Structure 1
Amino acid sequence: MGVIAGGCRCGACRYTLALDALPPVYACHCHICQRFSGSAFSVQALVREDVLAVTGPIIVHEKVTEDRTSVQRYCGECYARLYNTNTRRPGVAVVRAGTLDRSEELQCRAHIFTNYRQAWVTLDPAIPQWGEAAEPAAFIAALRG
């Protein structure tokens, strides 16, 4: 099994993914991701939580809503958001793709919540996209390529 590495912007937190290849990534254009990232969208990878190993000073923030609990993990030094989990997807970690050491090699395989995308963002019509949340089976199929 290979190892994919990543970490925060200051280097205090590092993580590894026990994977042979970079994970597939998707872009979320919802307003929550725009506000979290401070950008037009957030690029993320879904990985099994058991392949993720993290070291360093992690800060945990838990957000409880009517249908889920989301647990965000940040670097305790530079506050970069590294990944999150939530109760609607047990055993799955959502890794912020920009924190991967080889992020420049990633290729986006899907776009979700495109109804909220910034007007100046142009999407490749060959990449699957959904105006709102994607139906889970179709979304996973898009990520698998």
Structure 2
Amino acid sequence: MARSGRCACGAVTLKLEGEPVAVRQCWCRQCQQIAAGGPTHNAMFPTESVHFSGELAASSWIAASGNTLTFHFCPRCGTQAYAQSSARPQFRTVRLGFIDEPHGLKPEMAIWTAEAPAWAQIDPAIPQFSQMPPSPNPAPSGS
């Protein structure tokens, strides 16, 4: 399924091919800081399936996992576009808010729940990982 997306001001657009290999809700402290206190909601796609048009800015830091995380965003409006981990260059982790609705995606797991605030509402029906889960396998070709 092809999906599209855009930032809040429309300066950056997105085309996605195929299905994500994982859809996650992340409660790590860095995600809480960039998401106004709550989690980020992300879909991991193979890098070759993600196509952005327009200028993106980036910022990097060392995550609690020890990996370098690079966050890409629109420099005009600040909308978060995607993140990429040094440990998983084969994936781009696209923010669900960047993808046009209806995209039909929802978190399949919650990660870094050990760092969630006491008031966090985490769906008990999805798997939860206190820290980083194992890396997903790449999607089969043609899916």
- Give your verdict on TM over 0.5: yes
Residue ranges of structure 2 left out of the alignment (5+ in a row): 138-143
The corresponding residue for 1:45 is 43
Deviations 1:54-98 (A, max 9, x none): 111211223367943332211121121101212210221011111
Which protein has the bigger helix share?
A: 1
Structure 1 residues 127 and 25: alpha-carbon distance in aligned structure 2, compared to 1, 3 A threshold: same
Compute the RMSD of aligned alpha carbons. Answer: 2.4
TM-score (ref. length: structure 1) = 0.81
Aligned length: 136
Identity of aligned residues (%): 26
Structure 1 residues 68 and 131: alpha-carbon distance in aligned structure 2, compared to 1, 3 A threshold: closer
TM-score (ref. length: structure 2) = 0.82
The structural deviation recorded for 1:104 is 6.6
Structure 1 residues 90 and 60: alpha-carbon distance in aligned structure 2, compared to 1, 3 A threshold: same
Deviations 1:39-59 (A, max 9, x none): 311111111110111111211
2:59 pairs with one of 58, 61, 64 = 61
Structure 1 residues 81 and 124: alpha-carbon distance in aligned structure 2, compared to 1, 3 A threshold: closer
The corresponding residue for 1:32 is 30
Residue ranges of structure 1 left out of the alignment (5+ in a row): none
